[in-house]
Structure 1
Amino acid sequence: MRIVIVEDEAPIREGMEGILKKLNPSYELAGKAADGIEGLEVIRRVKPDLIIMDIRMPDMDGLTMLKKLREEGVASKALILSAYSDFSYAKQAMELGVSTYLLKPVKIQELKKVLKQMEEEVQEKNHQGTLLSLESMTRSALTGILEKTEETAAALEKKYDIKATDPMTVFIIWLGRFYDERKDIVLRILGEVDGHVQGFSSVVTAFPERTQCTMVLYHMEQDRDWEAYFNRSVVPMLLSNTDSKAVCVWDECGGFYELEESRKRIRRLLEWSLSLGNGKIISERRIADIPVYPLKYPPELSLRLKQSVIKGDEKEFKACFTEFLNYCRDQVHKPKDIKEACITFLWTALNTAREYITFEENELEVPELLEAIMNAYTWDDVGVSMKRLFDAIMAGGITGKQEVSPLIARAKRMIEEYYSQGITMEEVARKLAVSPEYLSRQFKKETGISFTEEVRNVKVEKVKTLLLGTSQNLIQIAAMTGFSDPKYMSKVFKEEVGVLPAEYRQMNS
């Protein structure tokens, strides 16, 4: 497989070259480029099988480069490696036929799997002349590697009596992570439908890499509503035999060579299962008849979520998530709006945890979580990703704190308990039966800050909590946290946080 790398960061560009050689010595690096303009020249010249590219690059970004190549008829497969998970990028990439969109930093095993899949597709395309079965030709048409040649058209018409412009329908049963355990029963049901129902012919095949089974219908009787028939007779069988894990999607196209575009539309239709569920077929016709509403949930819910993270209240944490899901599902919303709301909700929890507690974020793999939500087709998928985040935050708790002696630990607890009463180091030293000088020296030695700085930090953190968790005014908050007046509290707060209390509340509300 001949590959071109288009990446503006030299370390990544050179590193990718080394990775490709290690993954498979047969991979041929046909060229490298540092931006879209240079990439255009290299790709036009070497005509690679695969383009590995970034999106944001100087002079010309990756998607603009790819659009120009597509307009010129360059059909090289494309793999995007990007640090950006913006929905608009993913949408444009899909429309340009990008095979896979991976978020940086990329896992080697994940990259290896994707490259192997692409190599198989390239090999299938290169050996297209030997394609004999209708299933092989249909798979090639769906994946976009079937070329529009006279030989192909002749084989379709002479061997299978299919004209290139005969109407066709694609019926996809998506199984997600239940594919391996449910695909056989789904394929059996589709085969029985094909064998027993009169009025159409079909090709049934499976796509393990997309965790779905596909039935392509043709030579259909034109006086029957086949979508309604499948909704009434076939979908209930599929759901009952997959424990309702299947999502069924229906799309109609104008001919064999339009199957790839149909598959792309189905990928977008699949996301509507978040709004419509999986009880019926999802199709363009069904979506057109359903009113869609803006997705809104009250700001108080975000505030409650922040409070639950700050307080470590796992029960309230889960209650907020459940309530959020109910807002998403109580009306029909655009999938894009739902996913953006999910990511916003995720970031609210994550950023609050970053600010108020310490947890093992290195093991969380945030880019992977974001990608999983972007690619989710069911609430089960979204729930798995969100639960991973919630469990990491709640299980992590406050970790990584510096170990201190029992004496300093007791002093810190007393500060936490009496900070609002103007407690002094002398009072704490007396209660701990040590001299103020010794306590001061040990406190600085073990924590790195002075006793007074610790009291100040605790007060500022309590002010933050009250600003986010209550509607108290600054006068009340100053009194509750032991500051002499709100002006002095605001001065100290700005020195520590960088903004005034009112600005902090507004920024986080």
Structure 2
Amino acid sequence: MQTVLVVEDEKLIRQGISTMIKRCGVPVDEVIECANGLKAMEVLRDKHVDVMFTDIRMPKMNGIELVKEMQSLEDTPITIAVSGYDDFSYAVEMMRQGVREYILKPVERDKLREVMEKLEKEISQRNDVAQKTEKLGKRFLKYILTDGNEDHEDLDIIGRRIRADIGEEYHILAAIRNDDIQKDLAELTPIAEIDGTDVFIIGNSKMAEIRNRLSDETEEIVSAAGISDGYNDPKDLKKAYLQAKERREKAFFSEEIVLSDDDIKVPEPLYENGKKLCDKTAVSARVQLTGTERAEALEKEWNAFFTAARRRQIKPEDFDSAMSLFVQEYSNVYKKDIGERVGRPYIYGTLSEYKEILFETVFEENSRLLERAGEGQAEKKMQKAVEYIRNNYNTDINMAVVSNYVSMNYSLFSTAFKNYTGINFVSYIRELRIDEAKRLLKETDMRVNEIGQKVGYDNDKHFMKNFKEFVGVSPTEYRRNTANNT
């Protein structure tokens, strides 16, 4: 490990952490100390840092602001939050921003050593894989995958390198740049980045491991990847990539992992209907309806489009063309570039996730109209919705049920709810459930699976995964930590 950065405004604590790092047994070339986030950003802009330990509450620029600010840098360190128990909610926010984990103050020597040893192993593995992957020649491989021909004279060299580094048979894995899936693929280094998708060459043993790992994940994560069949000949690299890319796109629409090329047979008349939903007339209608009071008509138009796409009645290439045209016309009419958010659908895990982002974007104008027409009435409906959610969060509740309960258009409700609460509907439900789960873990002896069911999770694995993502530790660890601190 080359460089570790310690960001802490209290000098004695900062020096103490630095000393523990130097004496923890993990070789570190340099430990740099900073008293606030602004100073830390100066260091991060100037040099490579492997690991950063940062306090949360600091003057000038706090830990959360620091983590957000450094996302603009090309080279970002693995970040560990150092938190007082009173900072727990802030630590959770930092975890959402990509912080790897947090350590409670006062920092314990053994805990810090454990974290440093784990990070050293991860960085070492990452560097080893990076060196192997570099041998394959990223630029050449990207050319072969996208534009090259199967008779290129250097393919034999590539083939020998693949066999030496990976084995006789290889697979291509195409995965979107998603925080969750990148955790599963943390030890791998992509050979290319194409249109927001990371491309990996993987051998049989690693492929089996990744398939098993993805099979335990949620649908949103699983559908973010496409895996090719196994190939031996380097001339098949482009074929394997296109196969993985196509399966990734199919997974986007079907919202489940695709391991074969079996197509769902769609009658030709339905394809024709899908084409009509993608033509210039239909796209222009959706643009013109945006920003008007005809929200229900706009929602109906978009729902028809996405329903057809989900049922495979719209071919991926037609879907892509329709969305590109929509982004272009929207920008021309409203003088607002929305391409970064909705111009590349496949950077999102699923069609449903993309639809949610799109609806938030295109209903922005409608939301402002709603606020002007009756801001007070909208607030009353949000208060009523929040009360209903708090009384029913542990049931099979969804946004359609709640928006109907308060007699509000689904899409307008989504935007108004986010404006009122500061977070989207799904996150709000999850926070209520996890907060209640935390209370039950602290105050009762109920089993973890019983608590999960009581707060609204039918699936134990889903509960434990959501809890750890939100809190940073498993339910069992949380119970143990709170017991030790009472």
Normalising by structure 2, what TM-score? 0.40
Normalising by structure 1, what TM-score? 0.38
- Computing the radius of gyration over CA atoms, which structure comes out larger, 1 or 2? 1
